Structure 1
Amino acid sequence: MEKNLPLFPLNLVVYPLEDLNLHIFEERYQQLINECLENETTFGIPTFIDGKLPGFGTEVKITQLSKKYDDGRMDIKTIGLRAFRIIDFHNPVAPKLYSAGKVQLFKEPETQSMIMPGLLERVKKFYQLMYEDLNFNPEKIQPFSYQVAHKIGLTIEEEYMLLTMPTELERQAFLIQHLERIIPILTEVERTKERIRMNGHFKNLDPLDF
């Protein structure tokens, strides 16, 4: 499905069904958001990396205008709807101040998805090594891959790669591969920290039998 969307490029990855709070301060984006509020329409957030638009992003809708300032700035709450690929891009799109383009929309994400064997255990291990409390909910409607993607040490390039994947199975397999790479690194870092902590302490060493 193709659709024309006003576009708000950001140096981050937004996933479908993700909640995102935004502070709107530039005049061009104030114009964009005001029009979306007035017409009850959506807009797109394409990911901006290294000064470029690689081409994928997420359609979002405004769920709440939290605050409007006297100078026109706004605080808004949004939620991601579905991923897209840019087909045609104009910056700006006359006579507007903001950019816009034609996009190819992905299918809406699965609202209930299975978690691949081994993925949840690896995520829990990652949190354990990071000394962080688990702050995700496997029962949440958002697909599990999107729910944890910002929380397991992916680079923005890797987060973007995940967004381009059309199925939850592909995304979860990608996350398993990532965690298989990073968990041994974190484990070795933890062992190194423990050796550093033990340096200078009295040690009870077993005699060596040559």
Structure 2
Amino acid sequence: MGSTTKYMAMFPLPVFLLPGEEIPLRIFEPRYKQLINECNETGDTFGIPYVSNDNIKSYGSEVELVNIVAKNSLGEMVILIKAIANFHLLNLKEKLPNKLYGGGIIEYIDDRFTTTNPELVVLVKKLNLNLDPVMGSLITEDSVNLMNVAKAIQLDSDEKFAFYSLRNEKQMVNYLIKRLKFIEHIQLQEKLLENNFSLN
């Protein structure tokens, strides 16, 4: 798949989302109140370049406005957004002409990372991860989508960005296997505690 580019409004945040994930945001700065009001009128998406340690990183999330949950007399809002894609940030302007907010050019890249790695597949099945909101934990032909696994184990933004930035199937698989083994260990410890408690 060849890469495609797009120009969009930008809202840099210390938040990294994978497609399908939803989060609420509080909007209070004038520039972002303007951005959200415009997106609400036009239905346009906007980009969230990932910010870590006050640095804007090279990857981010394209999001759509699901709805405005609440709005006060000052125009401040609580909104719900949903990620629809991830992107590679090519350039960023802090302020667009005649706008309070910034924008930039993004590049869509191929994120179709799947694996048939038996260790990962077995761990996913053992932990009964909910990989698909529609199909549940169904795994097709013993292959799994790595992005779906990353979403299912609820990584924080730093962890998701570290995982996404690897851009290498083998390294991404190894990253997830380590996480899944840790989750398996925690679950075993919890079961042992439950058993010990029930024996007392």
Fold conserved between structures, TM > 0.5: yes
How far did residue 20 of structure 1 move?
2.1
How far did residue 38 of structure 1 move?
1.5
In the alignment of these two chains, the number of paired residues is 181
How far did residue 3 of structure 1 move?
0.8
Alignment correspondent of 2:39: 36
Contact 1:106 1:166 survives alignment (8 Å):
no
Q: Counterparts of 1:168 and 1:79 in 2: how far apart (Å)? A: 25
Q: Counterparts of 2:134 and 2:86 in 1: how far apart (Å)? A: 16
Alignment correspondent of 1:3: 6
Alignment correspondent of 1:85: 88
Contact 1:82 1:106 survives alignment (8 Å):
no
Residues 30-179 of structure 1 mapped to structure 2, 5 A cutoff? 30-107=33-110, 116-119=117-120, 121-122=122-123, 137-140=130-133, 145-149=146-150, 152=153, 154=155, 156-164=157-165, 171-179=172-180
Q: Counterparts of 2:134 and 2:169 in 1: how far apart (Å)? A: 13
How far did residue 80 of structure 1 move?
1.0
Provide Cα deviations, 1:19-73, integer angstroms capped at 9, x if missing partner: 2222212211111111111121110011100110121001111122222221101
Q: Which runs of 4+ in 1 moved over 6 A?
A: 167-170
Of 86-95 and 146-155, deviating more is 146-155
Q: Cα–Cα, structure 1 residues 43 and 169, in superposed 2: closer, same or farther, change >3 Å?
A: farther
Identical positions, percent = 29
TM-score when normalising by structure 1:
0.68
Alignment correspondent of 1:19: 22
Of 35-44 and 15-24, deviating more is 15-24
Contact 2:45 2:64 survives alignment (8 Å):
yes
- Which sections of structure 2, spanning at least 5 residues, go unmatched? 136-143
TM-score when normalising by structure 2:
0.70
Q: Cα–Cα, structure 1 residues 103 and 149, in superposed 2: closer, same or farther, change >3 Å?
A: same
Q: Cα–Cα, structure 1 residues 80 and 153, in superposed 2: closer, same or farther, change >3 Å?
A: closer
Contact 1:23 1:75 survives alignment (8 Å):
yes
Q: Counterparts of 1:187 and 1:41 in 2: how far apart (Å)? A: 42
How far did residue 115 of structure 1 move?
7.0
Q: Counterparts of 2:169 and 2:68 in 1: how far apart (Å)? A: 31
Q: Counterparts of 2:55 and 2:162 in 1: how far apart (Å)? A: 15
One-letter identity of the residue aligned with 1:106? I
Of 10-19 and 163-172, deviating more is 163-172
Contact 1:115 1:172 survives alignment (8 Å):
no
Q: Which has the larger radius of gyration?
A: 1
One-letter identity of the residue aligned with 2:16? V
Residues 172-187 of structure 1 mapped to structure 2, 5 A cutoff? 172-180=173-181, 182=182
Q: Choose between structure 1 and 2: higher strand proportion.
A: 2
Task: Give me the CA root mean square deviation.
Answer: 3.5
- Aligned to 1:62, what secondary structure does the other structure show? strand
